[in-house]
Amino acid sequence: MQSNNIRSLVFIALFAALFIIMSSLTIKLGGSLVPITLQTLGVVLSGLFLSPRNAFLSIFVVIVLAAIGLPLFSGAGGIAHLTGATGGFIFAFPFCAMLVSIAIGAFLRMSSSKANKGLAVVVFFLIFELFSSLFSYLPGIPWLMHITEFSFQKAMAVGFFPFIIGDALKSLVGAILAISLTPYIVYIRSSTVKRSNQNLTIKG
């Protein structure tokens, strides 16, 4: 097995574990169907440090483990939970991580990512808001409506509006981490890519 494959496996396992920890930190407001969690921050971290494929896999593997019954999503697991009220969010997460990784990779290849830290914080924040948070609502809200038979307004009241500020704070934390850890992000991302595919113009 090539060393970059072994590294990929190690990093997928590490970020899957990190996502599981983020997923266990959950608050359910007044018995709400949709909990406040740090999952979107876990998605951000996978997308920041891993290639698009590995970022996807790091979250997907958690879904597979939850599907066989492990309580990895807000303390719950099993097919019933994965297809329950929050199933749309759960199945969006691997795609969110992949999209964050694609966008971060594109941004890190641009010279402006190094030149202007203020601009970089804003771009990181927007990438996280768009792809780790807002994208998860695209399947999250329609699936919540389907399972609960809520109207669109009720589903938004239960599954979107209570999370806007919290999700933005998580994106901000992600953006600050991204700025502080850029050299490590570039190093880890490039260390799991085959030598022939490495883009040597990436700047850290």
Ligand X SMILES: O=C(O)CCCC[C@@H]1SC[C@@H]2NC(=O)N[C@@H]21
Binding site for ligand X (CB under 6 A): 23, 34-37, 39-40, 73-74, 86, 89-90, 136, 163, 166-167
CB of residue 4 to ligand X, shortest distance in Å: 32
Cβ atoms of residues 44 and 100 within 8 Å:
yes
CB of residue 66 to ligand X, shortest distance in Å: 9
Question: Which residues lie below 8 Å from residue 175, measured CB to CB, with a gap of 6+?
Answer: 121, 122, 124, 125, 128
By beta-carbon proximity to ligand X, the closer residue of 130 and 202 is 130
CB of residue 174 to ligand X, shortest distance in Å: 13
How many CA atoms within 13 Å lie on the side-chain side of 31?
A: 0
By beta-carbon proximity to ligand X, the closer residue of 39 and 54 is 39
Question: Which residues lie below 8 Å from residue 9, measured CB to CB, with a gap of 6+?
Answer: none
Tokens representing 23 are 């997923």
CB of residue 17 to ligand X, shortest distance in Å: 16
By beta-carbon proximity to ligand X, the closer residue of 46 and 86 is 86
By beta-carbon proximity to ligand X, the closer residue of 96 and 104 is 96
Cβ atoms of residues 19 and 39 within 8 Å:
yes
